[in-house]
């Protein structure tokens, strides 16, 4: 029993560390493969980009509107009502929709939707031995499969961040209207508080999320093992690792951004 | 309904030579189609009670599909399947579960539970359906496992076994409840010739000991010669011929002769 | 254009089937049929505890840190740093931590179930259960749902404790605009037992949906190992959307227009 618990709890932790190392190596190889000529991955890049776009727009739309309507919308309205400052709701949306919820929800949805699809796809190719066949034919799977997904996912998550922010603000407006408030002050406090630093910080953060998702999901797909459970397991592990990585990176990034740009904090 | 081109069935006499006992399992004009793939096309056959019957036929003709119809995992599009006097498609779920307790089934790939080790896999039906204590269960399980030559692999997980070992373990599991109707889907594929011969002996022994209706699917003519008391030859979703094995091995039917002799020339090609 | 709407159309088409599936499994649990397999339920509960607790707590803790950090800076900027406690309390208890729980449940438990049941389906193990006279839906799905209901309330409340601790660390130890006593006073002032109950309900509804969606996709998987991988990925998409919708509805029902706080509102 004790051994069993140890196996279930500790071994995965050690394997996880080893895997993080492997993923770092994969990141390095991906970047160098992307930069070194030749560049055969253009077509794959475009198709992956469109694929992610097609798959994610709808879940992301529902998710951001729902989340922003409820959390910073209704709940923060409650909070500000306490201070008699409901007109400040726009300010809170800078923090919520732009700085945190936009990029985080985009990352969560992209990992859960596009990331899992990538892992399932590459995992399928792995167990059908297509990846081995590619290598035998002298084609580098990193350059031809990982690089286009890496670039496409970075671009697509960056763009989706703006999409998520827009629909997030829409959710906030909805909440404002449900509370029976005029929308004018919402826009005023929003634009008074939003800075370009907020926006580029958000998009930059999200782009890096995209890179993390791509590496984790490609890695898990390409190392899927055979057997009936292989690909499913790979997808399962890919989302778990991606979510934890997103959370950890987000915390570091927020700390850094707030500490190095104190002017973000001044409410106007 | 399916368009039937008669020339496809020129060898299908559908002749059923009586086995002298009533049928335990009956297929009555069964049709089954998956999408555009017509698998069973008016299958009528009876498998005699208390005997070892074999269903023979080329790959992909629907032998496994037949087994799934017998145990109610699939229902016919039209026609009826009668097992031990019950019409399977019209049974309620609860009655079906009751009836299934009389079945022992060996699936084509063993279908062992991946999360349990060998011992627990074989003990599973006993623990679920009987009040037996662990000692008695251990006695039965160990006997069944050593019968199939897996006496010292108790602790192994299914994914650590070879295909043949999984099959033998599935065989042991299908017999632990001493079922009245036993269905084996290719018990002998993936085994070496000696193990195949031993397994055939085992089937005969277990049958002699417990009785019951056995249905065995196989490609292996040697196995058929060894254990079959009754043979049904299935092709293109219908019975070509069926009857006591001795009579079938002497059949005049061209297709049956080709298949039972394993020759490359004859009505059956690669298609 | 057609492909753009493939996903919503697929969901619409499958709604009835998923609904029926969920109804059957919940019926098995409510009706007590699952108690035939109580041992299996406990085994599943054990597996859930051992293999999923830590990761779920980890994400809840990280988001607790973020709630604290953002709250501390935001209220400092608004000139009311002492009220960081309100922000953290509501961010943790009412909104973000339930989402964190839902995300990790979907990722770890939901897709895990799909992978496991899907593998059982394609290697005929589910058929094998059926022919042994065992109702596979009760044995595989209802037991997992019961296990989730047994384990998750405790797991969730303990994880919430961890998130509170994380917010405390972020606000008091790390950012440090407010004293420990001042923070805690406000923090506890602004939540009450009904809030805990509502939060728990929200999380449990999410968990129920996630387990059932996982069971549905796994139980009905097909098409070999590749099909199982695809089903796993699809279950994640549906689960994410459900988590967000349930979170929103919960907030609307429990706290819409009702600050539920000790000072006027
Ligand atoms: N669940 C299903 N859905 C769709 N098609 C199926 C299904 N099950 C079987 N088939 C099809 O039915 C046909 C017969 O399959 P079956 O497995 O019964 O063949 P078989 O006679 O057992 O062959 P083998 O000897 O190779 O095992 C095949 O063409 C198969 O593709
Ligand atoms: Mg077969």
CA distance C243 to chain A (A): 8
Separation of B124 CA from ligand 1 center, angstroms? 28
From chain C, pick out residues whose CB is under 8 angstroms from the CB of B115. Answer: 116
C134 touches chain B (CB under 8 A): yes
State the pLDDT at residue C264.
40
C4 touches chain A (CB under 8 A): yes
Identify the helix (H) or strand (E) that includes residue A133. Answer: helix A130-136
CA distance C31 to chain A (A): 31
Ligand 1 atom nearest to CA at B63 = 21
Separation of B200 CA from ligand 1 center, angstroms? 25
Determine whether the interchain pair A267/C77 forms a contact, defined as Cβ–Cβ distance below 8 Å.
Answer: yes
How do B23-34 and B78-83 pair as beta strands?
antiparallel
Determine whether the interchain pair C122/A243 forms a contact, defined as Cβ–Cβ distance below 8 Å.
Answer: no
CA distance B65 to B60: 9
For C153-207, the pLDDT digits (tens) are 999 999 999 999 998 898 888 877 788 888 888 888 777 888 889 999 999 999 9
CB B163 within 8 A of CB B190: yes
Nearest CA to ligand 1 atom 26: B59
Nearest CA to ligand 1 atom 6: B34
Poorest-pLDDT segment among A40-44, A137-141, B60-64, B87-91: A137-141
Residues 6+ apart with CB under 8 A from C16: none
State the pLDDT at residue B266.
74
CA distance C186 to C209: 34
Average of per-residue pLDDT across B247-258: 83
Q: Which residue has the higher pLDDT, A48 or A198?
A: A48
Q: Which residue of B has its CA nearest to C121?
A: B111
From chain C, pick out residues whose CB is under 8 angstroms from the CB of B107. Answer: 124, 127-128
Residue of B61, B62, B110 with the most ligand 1 atoms within 8 Å of its CB, for mutation: B62
Q: Is the pLDDT reported for residue A183 higher than 50?
A: yes
Separation of B216 CA from ligand 2 center, angstroms? 11
Average of per-residue pLDDT across B120-128: 87
CB B182 within 8 A of CB B214: yes
Residues near ion ligand 2 (CB < 5 Å) are B 64, 108
DSSP of chain C, one letter per residue?
A: -TGGGHHHHHHHHHHHHHHHHHHHHHHHHHTTGGGGGHHHHHHHHHHHHHHHHHHHHHHHHHHHHHHHHHHHHHHHHTT-GGGHHHHHHHIIIIIIHHHHHHHHIIIIIIHHHHHHHHHHHHTTHHHHHHHTT--HIIIIIIHHHHHHHHHHHHHHHHHHHHHHHHHHIIIIIII-SS-HHHHHHHHHHT--HHHHHHHHHHHHHHHHHHHHHHHHHHHT--SHHHHHHHHHHHHHHHHHHHHHHHHHHHHHHHHTT----SS--
Q: Which residues surround ligand 1 with Cβ inside 6 Å?
A: B 34, 37, 39, 59-65, 108
Percent of chain C surpassing pLDDT 70: 96
> Residue B161: CA atoms inside 13 Å, Cβ hemisphere, count?
28
Average of per-residue pLDDT across B192-198: 85
CB pairs under 8 A between A and B: 3
Average of per-residue pLDDT across A140-148: 89
Q: Is the pLDDT reported for residue A249 higher than 50?
A: yes
Rounded to the nearest 5 degrees, what angle is found at the Cα of B48, between the Cα atoms of B45 and B49?
140
Residue A19 pLDDT level (bands cut at 50, 70, 90): confident
Q: Is the pLDDT reported for residue A266 higher than 60?
A: no
CA distance A100 to A250: 9
CA distance A137 to C35: 56
CB C90 within 8 A of CB C190: yes
Chain B residues within 8 angstroms (CB to CB) of chain A: 114, 159
Q: Is the pLDDT reported for residue B175 higher than 60?
A: yes
Q: Is the pLDDT reported for residue B234 higher than 80?
A: yes
Determine whether the interchain pair A74/C232 forms a contact, defined as Cβ–Cβ distance below 8 Å.
Answer: no
Q: Which residue of C has its CA nearest to A53?
A: C4
Dihedral-angle region of residue A31 (phi above 0 means left; psi in -120 to 50 means alpha; beta otherwise): alpha
Separation of B65 CA from ligand 1 center, angstroms? 6
CB C139 within 8 A of CB C29: no
For C115-124, the pLDDT digits (tens) are 999 999 988 8
Sheet holding B37-48, edge to edge: B37-48, B23-34, B78-83, B86-87
Report which of C199, C195, C203, C197 is spatially closest to residue C262, judged by C-alpha positions. C195
Residue of B64, B76, B223, B224 with the most ligand 1 atoms within 8 Å of its CB, for mutation: B64
Note the ligand closest to the C-alpha atom of B57. 1
Contacts 24+ apart (CB under 8 A), A5-10: A5/C50, A8/C50, A8/C51, A9/C50, A9/C54
- Predicted structure pTM score: 0.84
Q: Is the pLDDT reported for residue B179 higher than 80?
A: yes
CB C38 within 8 A of CB C58: no
For A52-110, the pLDDT digits (tens) are 888 889 999 999 998 888 888 887 777 777 766 666 777 777 777 888 888 999 999 99
Mutate which: B159, B160, B162, B163, vs A, most A CBs within 10 A: B159
Q: Which residue is associated with the tokens 């039937």? A: B4
Residue A209 pLDDT level (bands cut at 50, 70, 90): very high
From chain B, pick out residues whose CB is under 8 angstroms from the CB of C228. Answer: none
Residue A207 pLDDT level (bands cut at 50, 70, 90): very high
- Where in the sequence is the domain holding A226, given as residue range(s)? 2-265
Grouping H, G, I as helix, E, B as strand and the rest as coil, residue B185 is strand
| Number of domains, chain A | 1
User: What residue ranges do the domains of chain C occupy?
Assistant: 43-251
Average of per-residue pLDDT across B202-228: 87
Determine whether the interchain pair A58/C95 forms a contact, defined as Cβ–Cβ distance below 8 Å.
Answer: no
CA distance A232 to chain B (A): 14
Identify the helix (H) or strand (E) that includes residue B216. Answer: strand B213-218
Sheet holding B15-16, edge to edge: B15-16, B238-244, B230-235, B52-56, B213-218, B181-185, B103-106
Percent of chain B surpassing pLDDT 90: 20
Separation of B234 CA from ligand 2 center, angstroms? 12
Q: Which residues pair with A142 in a beta bridge?
A: none
For C69-104, the pLDDT digits (tens) are 888 887 777 777 777 788 888 888 888 899 999 999
What chains are in contact with B, requiring at least 3 Cβ pairs below 8 Å? Answer: A, C
CA distance B65 to B75: 10
State the pLDDT at residue A11.
66
C51 touches chain A (CB under 8 A): yes
Residue of B39, B40, B219 with the most ligand 1 atoms within 8 Å of its CB, for mutation: B39
């Amino acid at each position: 029993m004790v051994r069993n618990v140890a196996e279930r709890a500790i071994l995965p932790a050690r394997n996880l560390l080893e895997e993080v190392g492997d993923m770092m190596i994969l990141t390095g190889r991906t970047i160098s493969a992307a930069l070194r000529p030749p560049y055969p991955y253009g077509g794959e890049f475009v198709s992956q980009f469109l694929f992610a776009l097609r798959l994610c727009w709808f879940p992301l739309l529902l998710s951001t509107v729902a989340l922003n309507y409820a959390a910073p919308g209704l709940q923060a309205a409650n909070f500000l009502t306490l201070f008699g400052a409901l007109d400040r709701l726009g300010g809170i949306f800078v923090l919520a929709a732009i700085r945190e919820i936009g990029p985080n929800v985009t990352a969560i949805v992209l990992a859960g939707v596009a990331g899992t699809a990538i892992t399932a796809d590459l995992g399928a190719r792995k167990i059908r031995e297509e990846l081995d066949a590619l290598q035998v034919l002298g084609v580098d799977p990193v350059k031809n499969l990982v690089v286009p997904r890496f670039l496409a996912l970075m671009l697509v998550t960056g763009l989706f961040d703006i999409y998520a922010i827009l629909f997030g603000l829409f959710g906030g407006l909805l909440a404002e209207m449900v509370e029976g408030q005029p929308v004018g002050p919402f826009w005023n406090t929003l634009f008074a508080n939003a800075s370009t630093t907020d926006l580029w910080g958000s998009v930059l953060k999200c782009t890096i999320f995209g890179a993390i998702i791509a590496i984790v999901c490609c890695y898990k797909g390409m190392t899927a093992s055979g057997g009936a459970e292989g690909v499913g397991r790979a997808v399962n592990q890919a989302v778990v690792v991606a979510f934890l990585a997103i959370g950890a990176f987000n915390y570091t990034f927020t700390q850094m951004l707030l500490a190095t740009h104190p002017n973000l904090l001044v409410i106007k | 309904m399916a368009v039937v081109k008669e020339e496809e069935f020129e060898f299908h006499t559908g002749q059923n030579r009586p086995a002298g006992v009533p049928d335990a399992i009956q297929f009555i004009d069964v049709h089954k189609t998956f999408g555009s793939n017509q698998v069973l096309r008016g299958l009528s056959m009876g498998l005699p009670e208390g005997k070892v019957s074999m269903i023979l036929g080329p790959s992909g003709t629907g032998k496994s599909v037949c087994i799934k119809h017998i145990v109610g995992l699939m229902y016919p599009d039209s026609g009826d399947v009668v097992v031990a006097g019950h019409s399977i498609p019209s049974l309620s779920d609860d009655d079906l579960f009751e009836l299934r307790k009389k079945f022992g089934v060996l699936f084509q790939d063993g279908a062992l539970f991946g999360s349990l080790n060998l011992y627990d896999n074989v003990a599973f039906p006993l623990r679920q359906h009987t009040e037996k204590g662990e000692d008695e269960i251990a006695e039965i399980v160990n006997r069944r496992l050593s019968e199939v030559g897996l006496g010292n692999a108790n602790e192994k997980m299914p994914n650590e076994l070879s295909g043949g070992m999984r099959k033998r373990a599935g065989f042991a599991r299908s017999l632990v409840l001493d079922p009245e109707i036993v269905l084996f889907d290719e018990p002998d594929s993936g085994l070496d010739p000696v193990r195949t011969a031993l397994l055939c002996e085992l089937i005969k022994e277990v049958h002699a000991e417990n009785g019951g209706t056995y249905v065995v699917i196989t490609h292996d003519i040697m196995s058929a010669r060894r254990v079959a008391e009754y043979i049904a030859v299935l092709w293109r979703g219908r019975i070509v011929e069926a009857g006591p094995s001795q009579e079938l091995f002497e059949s005049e039917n061209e297709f049956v002769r080709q298949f039972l002799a394993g020759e490359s020339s004859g009505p059956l090609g690669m298609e | 254009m057609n492909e753009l709407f493939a996903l919503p159309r697929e969901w619409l088409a499958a709604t009835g089937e998923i609904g029926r599936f969920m109804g059957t499994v919940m019926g098995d649990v409510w009706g007590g049929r699952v108690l035939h397999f109580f041992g299996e339920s406990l085994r599943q509960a054990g597996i859930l505890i051992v293999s999923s607790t830590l990761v779920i707590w980890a994400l809840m803790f990280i988001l607790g840190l973020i709630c604290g950090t953002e709250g501390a800076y935001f209220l400092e900027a608004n000139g009311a740093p002492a009220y960081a406690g309100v922000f953290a309390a509501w961010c943790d208890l009412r909104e973000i931590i339930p989402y964190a729980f839902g995300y990790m449940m979907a990722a770890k438990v939901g897709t895990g179930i799909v992978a496991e049941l899907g593998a059982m389906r394609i290697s005929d193990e589910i058929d094998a259960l059926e022919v042994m006279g065992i109702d596979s839906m009760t044995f595989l799905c209802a037991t997992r749902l019961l296990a989730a209901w047994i384990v998750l309330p405790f797991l969730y409340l303990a994880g919430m404790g961890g998130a509170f601790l994380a917010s405390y660390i972020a606000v008091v130890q790390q950012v440090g605009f407010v004293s420990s006593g001042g923070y805690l006073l406000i923090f506890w002032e602004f939540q009450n037992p009904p809030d805990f109950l509502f939060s728990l309900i929200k999380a449990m509804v999410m968990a129920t949906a996630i387990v059932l969606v996982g069971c549905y996709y796994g139980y009905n998987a097909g098409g070999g190992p590749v099909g199982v991988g695809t089903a796993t990925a699809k279950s994640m998409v549906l689960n994410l959307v459900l988590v967000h919708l349930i979170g929103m509805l919960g907030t609307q029902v429990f706290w819409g227009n009702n600050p539920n706080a000790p000072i006027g509102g």
